[in-house]
Every structure is written in structure tokens, then in C-alpha cells.
Amino acid sequence: MKRKFFAYPYIVWMILFIAVPMLFIFYYAFNVDGRWTTEKFIQTLMDMDNWRILWVSLEFAFGTTAICLLLGYPIAYILSNMKKSVAGFISVLFFVPMWMNFVLRTYAWSAIIEYAIPELFGVTESLTDTASGRTIAVLLVLVYDFLPFMVMPLYNTLSKLDKNLLEASRDLGANGVKTFFRVVLPLSVPGIVSGITMVFVPSITAFTVPALIGNGAYMLYGNKIETAITSAAGYHKNDFSVGSTLSIILLLCIVVSTLIMNHFDKDKEGGSIL
């Protein structure tokens, strides 16, 4: 507790760059031209197009999270059963691409999908020519980007698992499958929870990948907030109410999903955001 003063710069940082901007969002949502009103707020809430756009973003986030979990769990499980040195080496391999800038990696994927793969197969068509192909391409890159965030917490939880429990389960007559579903899986819930949180929350707001990989064909929630703020400058004196209202909705979505996830992770073993 003595070293509490080290926290002050961080607290100042939080106030300046998290709390104050948050207050601005609430201020602009209910204040149009210096006048307090809920009219714009309600109008934005009633606009079904916004909800449709949010739903598309959520679909991408759900899809990414589900695929990451299905792919990441076996990877983490295999890694946790390896020798520590080997597992350490392989997990470094997982993280090496992340040392490179995220946008650069996305551009690289765009070149692979648009140019390298068609070249390889000697065709002129590329995956992004059709709507369903674009969805697949976007999901592929999102999964690539977020998979390490799923694997690492799962690996942490699984490698800390007490191997005596598995032996006990075997001794008591459970086969491998039963041991996995009755012992390993329940004990790895904290890892699953933090993995899901770490993938789901950032992937709701991901719009660089859909924009670059999906040929700008998608209007996702992040893009919608951006256009709501920039286009409002077109006819009012910087009216940010729609963009702020949309941001508040997104904020609530993230808070609710984090609360739900925290509910499953009572011990806070996997670490959490809120």
C-alpha cells in the first residue's frame, strides 16, 4: 500500500482519456445546440437501421468468437499437454505475427486473398467477388487476428490444471471422453470466459478488417458511428448527438456482455476486463 503513489499518473491518465471523453459522449447525446433534449436520442433509438447494423456487427463478433473457441480450445489443450519448453516455443510462434502492426497484417491478407490465392490456382476470380465469399474472407481474417487472444488464456488455465485430478478420474473408471467433459472442461471455464471476452469485445467494434477485406461493402457499427459524426458536420454546427447515442448503445452492449461473462467466472481466475 505504501507504493500507492505510483498509481497517480495512471489515475490522471484514466480521468483525462477515459472518464472525460465518456462524459463528453453523454453530454453530446443529450445536448443539441446547447439545449438539453432527449428528442435526438429517442429518434436514434427508434431508427431500425441502426439496430440492423448493430446486429450485423454482432453476427460477425459471434461468428469470430465461436470459430476462435472451436479452433483455440484444441490448440490450447494440445499445448498444455506438451513439454513446457516445446509449448513455450510454439506459443511464441503464435505471438510473433502480432509484433507486426495490425493494419499491415490486414493489408497483407487482402493481397493474399485478392492476388496470391487466385494466382496460385491460375484463376481470375477471387473470394471477394461475391457477398458470401466476402463474409468468409472477413471471418477468416478476424479469426486469424483474434485467435491468440483465445488460445493464451485457455492455455494458462489448462496448463495449471492439477494432473492428479485427471488420474483420479481415470482411477474411478471414467474414460478419456468422460474425463474431458466432466473434469477438464468445467475446470477450464475461467479460461473460456476470459478468452471469449477478449475476442468478443474487440471484434464487435472491428471495422478495419471488414472495410479492407470486405471491399468496403459492409456498414458495421464502427463505420456507422463514424459516418454519423462526420456527416452531422454537413448541416448542423457539429451535431454529435446521433454518434454519441450510438456509442452509448455500444457501450451498454459491451458492459452487458462483460457482466454476463463475469457471472460465469466467479473466481476471477482467468482475469477480466470489468
Partner 1 sequence: MMKRILSLILAASMILAFAACGSKTAEPDRELNVLNWGEYIDPDLIDEFEEQTGIQVNYIEMTSNEEMLIKLRSSDSNYDLCFPSDYIIEQMIREDMLLPLDYSKIPNAENIDPKMKEITNVFDPGNKYSLPYMWGTVGILYNTTMVDEPVDSWEILWNEKYAGKIWMYDSVRDTIGITLKYLGYDLNTRNEAEVNAARDLLIAQAPLRKGFGTDNMRTSMVNGKAALALIYSGDAFACIGENPDLAYAVPKEGSNVWFDNVIIPKNAKNVNAAHMFINFLNDPENATRNTEYIGYSTPNKAAMDNLGPEYTEDETYNPSQEILARCEVFHDLGEFVEVFNAAWDKIKASN
Binding site for partner 1 (CB under 8 A): 5-6, 8-9, 11-12, 16, 49, 52-53, 56, 110, 114-115, 118, 124-126, 128-131, 134, 212, 214-219, 223-224, 227, 229-231, 233-235, 237-238
Output 38 or 230, the one with its CB closest to partner 1: 230
Please, what is the minimum distance in Å from the beta carbon of residue 235 to partner 1? 5
Output 237 or 263, the one with its CB closest to partner 1: 237
Please, what is the minimum distance in Å from the beta carbon of residue 14 to partner 1? 11
Instruction: Quickly list DSSP for 210-256.
Output: HHHHTTT----HHHHHHHHHHHHTTTSSS--HHHHHHHHHHHHHHHH
The single residue listed with the C-alpha cell 485467435 is: 147
B/e letters for 60-83, b = 16+ CB within 10 Å, e = fewer, are bbebbbebbbeebbebbbebbeee
Please, what is the minimum distance in Å from the beta carbon of residue 267 to partner 1? 33
| C-alpha cell recorded at residue 202 | 474487440
Output 77 or 218, the one with its CB closest to partner 1: 218
**Which amino acid belongs to residue 243?**
G
Please, what is the minimum distance in Å from the beta carbon of residue 273 to partner 1? 25
Output 199 or 246, the one with its CB closest to partner 1: 246
Please, what is the minimum distance in Å from the beta carbon of residue 53 to partner 1? 6
Q: Is 34 left (phi over 0), alpha (psi -120 to 50) or beta?
A: left
Please, what is the minimum distance in Å from the beta carbon of residue 135 to partner 1? 9
Please, what is the minimum distance in Å from the beta carbon of residue 178 to partner 1? 46
Closest CA to 241 of 54, 28, 7, 21: 28
Please, what is the minimum distance in Å from the beta carbon of residue 253 to partner 1? 18
Output 114 or 136, the one with its CB closest to partner 1: 114
| C-alpha cell recorded at residue 152 | 493464451
Q: Are 274 and 262 in contact (CB under 8 A)?
A: yes
Output 56 or 161, the one with its CB closest to partner 1: 56
Output 186 or 234, the one with its CB closest to partner 1: 234
Output 127 or 192, the one with its CB closest to partner 1: 127
